[in-house]
Amino acid sequence: MFPYQFQSHQAIPIKAVLQRFDFANEILTMIVIEGFDVGCIWFTDEAHFHLNGFVNKQNWRFWESENPRLCEEKPLHSPKVTAWVAVCSRGIIGPFSVRETISSERYITILEQFVSTQLALKDRQRIEWFMQDGAPPHRTEKVFRFLNEHFRNRVIALDYPKFTGTGMDCPPYSPDLTPCYYFLGGALKDTVYGNNPSTLNELESAICVACNSISVETLKDVMSNFILRLRYLIFSNGEHFENIVF
């Protein structure tokens, strides 16, 4: 996504670097040994779309070894819509829009809508995975119970293995490994703001149109790009590489 929020600049903690390396190695091993298809992963995330044209990721960071003392402007009290989407190689589910702060209860409502839509897909694969980031509303007991009920051990989420004893931890500090970060934000921005929406209703409609405009062929390329990123992560020993474009 696009960095419009100022955050502190810091290097990735060593523990996180190791977690990122282990995650990439585990997924690549599954691909080679088990024939695992990353296209069956539903990658999920939410982002703020402001009426004044800003797309804001809540937990964006600029990862540098030294502080470049860079400041990014952040809109003050700008009306916004928070859009949650799920992306896999076969399409996009969502966006599900929220105008209030995402709480655990609101997140559960979104997940219920997602699962209902997912189960109704005609071309739904027999085995599908679910991946989410580590935002606090995503890591409550109620959320983990819901995910365990519908996906069992096929969940990639921070702290999920600690709660259920199954699944995989989503590595922290890893926007470069999630299509919702490295692809979807840029793909949506120009389309969403191309007609200059002036109300939140128009903004929500524009986000839906933009999501529907992304082809399945593009999404398949995005998933291939995910595998390339995993391989590069092994090559870079787990270090961050947000500025590299494949």
The sign of the dihedral angle between the CA atoms of 98, 99, 101, 106 is negative
Q: Are 220 and 41 in contact (CB under 8 A)?
A: no
Question: pLDDT tens digit string along 37-94?
Answer: 999 999 999 988 888 775 554 444 434 445 555 455 555 567 889 999 999 998 999 9
Domain ranges of the chain: 16-48+76-236
Higher local confidence (pLDDT), 144 or 6 = 144
Q: Which of 185, 176, 184 is nearest to 218 (CA)?
A: 184
What pLDDT, on a 0 to 100 scale, did the predictor assign at position 105? 94
Question: Which pLDDT belongs to residue 130?
Answer: 97
Which pLDDT score is estimated for 61? 43
Torsion 42-190-99-214 (CA) sign: negative
Residue 93's CB: how many other CB atoms inside 10 A?
21
Query: CA angle at residue 192 from 222 to 106, to 5 degrees?
Result: 80
pLDDT in tens, 206-246: 999 999 999 999 999 999 999 999 999 999 888 876 555 54
pLDDT at 177: 87
Q: Given this model, what pLDDT does residue 84 score?
A: 95
Residue 33 pLDDT level (bands cut at 50, 70, 90): very high
Of residues 131 and 60, more confidence is placed in 131
Q: What is the pLDDT of residue 131?
A: 97
Share of the chain above pLDDT 90, in %: 58
Report CA-CA distances (Å) from 207 to 18, 113, 197.
36, 17, 10
Which of the pair, 244 or 134, is modelled with greater confidence?
Answer: 134
The pLDDT of residue 75: 55
State the Rg of the chain over Cα: 18
Give me the pLDDT at residue 196, please: 87
242 Cβ partners below 8 Å, 6+ apart? 63, 175, 176, 182
**CATH class, 16-48+76-236 region:** alpha beta
Measured torsion, CA atoms of residues 222, 224, 225, 230, in degrees rounded to the nearest 10: 130
Among 46-50, 111-115, 199-203, the least confident range: 46-50
Which one has a higher pLDDT value, 155 or 176?
Answer: 155
AA identity, residue 125 = Q
Contacts of residues 67-70 at CB distance under 8 Å and 24 or more positions apart, as own/partner, are: 67/9, 67/10, 68/9, 70/9
CA atoms within 13 A on the CB side of 212: 7
Mean pLDDT for 12-26 is 93
